[in-house]
Amino acid sequence: MTMYNAKDWLVVDTGLRPADENMALDKTLLLAMSEGQIPGIFRFLRFEESALVGYHQSPEQELNLEFCREQGIAVQRRLTGGGALIFDPTQIGWELVCRREALPPGDMAALSRRICEAAAAGLSLLGVSARFRPRNDIEVEGRKISGTGGIMDGNVLLFQGTVLVDLDIPRMLRVLRVPLEKLDAHAISSVAERVTSLKALLGKAPELTAVQKVLLDGFRAHLGLSFVQGDLPDAVAALLPEALAEVRDAEWLGI
């Protein structure tokens, strides 16, 4: 069994995966953490093109399922709440899995602020003026560049966020349940006024490794976290097949 320094967080990059694998990994990380099998985890993740609804949402109400089927866009349900999200390989996901006492005290709102401020500080190192926007977004010049959300499972926290490195707004609107008659230039312009990406702000998309580095720097500086790079723990890999079966079940998906 691999031994870990209790003070160090294990940084794991699980790479580009289908949505069901990423959701199953969230489940297994929560379980392995609750059983004391793993240290605090900071995971970077990327998705094959997919549409994710929040835990309490209905895919049929939130997504254009016919378009998703035609385009081969996977549909999945997150463990966390919030609205529907569209992922593609250009975007970066990041998440923390830990026991609650591993982070500063406070309620969920205070903790969300601290985590988002750390992520915003990191993103600002790329040359953008990122800042926390209550309740749980990170914005640049008034436009959202990252959404976040978290859940507590007993004493275990899963807190996750995204970074919009690039963004295809017309395609995003096709995936979401927006009536065709409203998919015009005005709708696209309206979204562009509220959402942005690193590519739009910087003129080109930064390397994904550069985004990962500044995020870790932000968490080191603002939350005092210490990181070691590593692979997915064996305990997590062993739990993955059962979790995959759960997230592939029609009852979980709601479709």
Does residue 155 fall inside a structural domain?
A: yes
Predicted structure pTM score: 0.93
Does residue 211 fall inside a structural domain?
A: yes
| Average pLDDT score over residue span 226-230 | 97
Phi, psi of 2, deg, nearest 5:
-70, 135
Average of per-residue pLDDT values in the chain = 93
Model pLDDT for residues 132-150, shown as the tens digit of each residue: 999 899 999 999 999 999 9
Does residue 91 fall inside a structural domain?
A: yes
Does residue 121 fall inside a structural domain?
A: yes
Does residue 2 fall inside a structural domain?
A: no
Number of domains into which the chain is organized: 1
53 has pLDDT over 90: yes
Does residue 46 fall inside a structural domain?
A: yes
Cα distances (angstroms) measured from residue 48 to each of 95, 205, 255: 17, 18, 20
Does residue 140 fall inside a structural domain?
A: yes
Does residue 3 fall inside a structural domain?
A: no
Residue 182, C-beta contacts closer than 8 angstroms, at least 6 positions apart: none
243 has pLDDT over 70: yes
Domain range spanning residue 116?
Answer: 8-253
CATH of the domain at 131: 3.30.930.10
Model pLDDT for residues 88-136, shown as the tens digit of each residue: 999 999 999 999 999 999 999 999 999 999 999 999 999 999 999 998 9
